[in-house]
Structures are given as C-alpha cells and as structure tokens.
C-alpha cells in the first residue's frame, strides 16, 4: 500500500502539472497533508494573485476520498524533538516547518513526496524527492 505525505512544494508542483508528481499522487493509495502544509499553502495564497482559484483547487483536492489531513499531537512533538536533535547534532539546518512535516511523516509511517532537497537529510523518514527533471 502506497501512502504519501504531499509536502507544500510537491503540492505546488502537482498543480503546475509536474508529470512525475502527478504520477506519484495518482499511484498512491492514500495521500496526506497536515496542518503545517495547509498553513504554508494558505499563506502563499494570501500573497498570490490567484487566491480564490488556489483556494478552490485546494478544497477540491482535499475533497478526494484518497486525501486526508493528519493532525499534529503530542506524538508528533516527540518525533519533532528527536528529528531536531539529530539534525542539530549533525549541524544540518532545515526550516522549522519542514521538521514538523518530517515528524508527522515519521509518526504516521508516510513517505514524504517533495521537491525540497533538505528532506533527504532527515534520516528518520522515507523521502520521494522530485529534483530537477533531467533532460
């Protein structure tokens, strides 16, 4: 069973029509996002020129029976602490929101689908990285 946590960058690329990410989403049995990802998306909508369109597309995406929102709780915070400590010990900085996203993936046994390279530095999670397309 394929279960992915679609991070903010991958969701944006999905909407832009990135065929690799579209295929990943189509092939997944279950697709998840969390409140951090939703917050990042909505904050981006505020700054964009197509706020209403983006909000409609997100609402439609979330309405899919294969898409769910996983919450953050005390278990997530425990995993956040483990990941952050590991990254700090290794001198590896990544954005705070992405540590929360990684903690959520770790907690729920999800593979993170992303275009952000730094998720590959988080040893506690599985990552499907969609780097630049080779041409």
What's the CATH code of the domain at 116? 3.40.50.1010
Q: Could you state, in chain order, the average pLDDT of each consecutive group of 10 residues for the chain (135 residues)?
A: 95 95 96 98 93 96 97 98 97 96 98 96 96 60
Q: Is residue 76 part of a domain?
A: yes
The answer as to whether 135 is a domain residue is no
Does 88 reside within a domain? yes
Range of the domain at 89: 3-129
Report yes or no on 77 lying in a domain. Answer: yes
How far CA 27 is from CA of 21, 73, 99, 101, in Å, comes to 10, 28, 26, 21
Q: How many domains does the chain have?
A: 1
Inside any domain, residue 35: yes
The pTM score is 0.93
Please name the residues in contact with 131: beta carbons below 8 A apart, sequence gap of 6 or more. Answer: 115, 117
pLDDT of residue 33: 98
User: Residue 26 domain-assigned?
Assistant: yes
For 37-76, give the DSSP string: HHHHHHHHHHHSS-HHHHHHHHHHHHTSTTEEE----HHH
Residue recorded with tokens 């903010």: 8
Residue 51 lies in a domain: yes
Q: Alpha-carbon distance 9 to 113, whole Å?
A: 9
Per-residue confidence (pLDDT) for residue 48, from 0 to 100: 85
In a domain, 106, yes or no: yes
Question: Who's near 132: CB < 8 A, 6+ residues apart?
Answer: none
Residue 109: both structure tokens together: 């046994």
The pLDDT of residue 10 is 97
75 in Cβ contact with 107 (< 8 Å) = yes
**How many residues are recorded in the chain?**
135
């Amino acid at each position: 069973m394929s279960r992915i946590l679609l991070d903010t960058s991958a969701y944006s690329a999905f909407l832009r029509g990135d065929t690799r990410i579209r295929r990943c989403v189509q092939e997944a049995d279950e697709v998840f996002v969390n409140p951090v990802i939703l917050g990042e998306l909505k904050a981006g909508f505020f700054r964009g020129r197509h706020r209403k369109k983006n909000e409609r597309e997100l609402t439609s995406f979330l309405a899919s029976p294969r898409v769910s929102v996983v919450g953050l709780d005390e278990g997530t915070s425990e995993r956040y602490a483990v990941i952050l400590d590991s990254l700090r010990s290794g001198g590896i900085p990544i954005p705070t929101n992405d540590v929360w996203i990684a903690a959520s993936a770790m907690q729920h046994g999800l593979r993170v689908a992303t275009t952000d390279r730094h998720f590959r530095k988080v040893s506690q999670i599985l990552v499907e990285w969609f780097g630049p397309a080779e041409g």
